[in-house]
Amino acid sequence: MVKSVSITDAQFRIGVGVAGIALVAGIAAVRFCGPVSLPPKPPPPAVPHGTSSELLTKSSASPVVYQDFVARDAAEAGLRAPALDEMSRKLPYRVDDARHVLGVGQPPLEVAGVRLRAIHLEDGLALEIANATGSSIAYNVVTTAVRAECNAAPARLFNAMTIRPGGREIRVECAWHTGIALAVLRVETVEVLPLSAWYLDHVPPSAVGIEPRIARGHPLPETGAPCAFALPQAVRSGLERGEIGWRDLIDFYARHRCQTYQFPLLYRAFKRDGERSVPALPAGM
Which of these, 164, 163, 180, 193, lies nearest to 253 by C-alpha position? Answer: 193
Give the pLDDT of residue 1.
Answer: 46
Give me the domain span that covers residue 167.
52-253
**In-domain check, residue 259:** no
**In-domain check, residue 171:** yes
**In-domain check, residue 161:** yes
Give the pLDDT of residue 32.
Answer: 46
User: How many domains in the chain?
Assistant: 1
Residue count of the chain: 285
**In-domain check, residue 169:** yes
**In-domain check, residue 219:** yes
**In-domain check, residue 245:** yes
**In-domain check, residue 56:** yes
Low-confidence ranges of the chain (pLDDT < 70): 1-58, 228, 283-285
> What is the C-alpha to C-alpha distance for residues 71 and 65, in angstroms, rounded to an integer?
10
**Alpha-helical runs (H) found in the chain:** 9-28, 52-59, 63-77, 194-201, 212-215, 233-241, 246-253
- Residue 173 exposed, middle or buried by CB count within 10 Å (0-12, 13-18, 19+): buried
pTM beyond 0.85, yes or no? no
**In-domain check, residue 185:** yes
User: Residues 20-50, buried b or exposed e (16+ Cβ, 10 A)?
Assistant: eeeeeeeeeeeeeeeeeeeeeeeeeeeeeee
For residue 179, the one-letter residue type is G
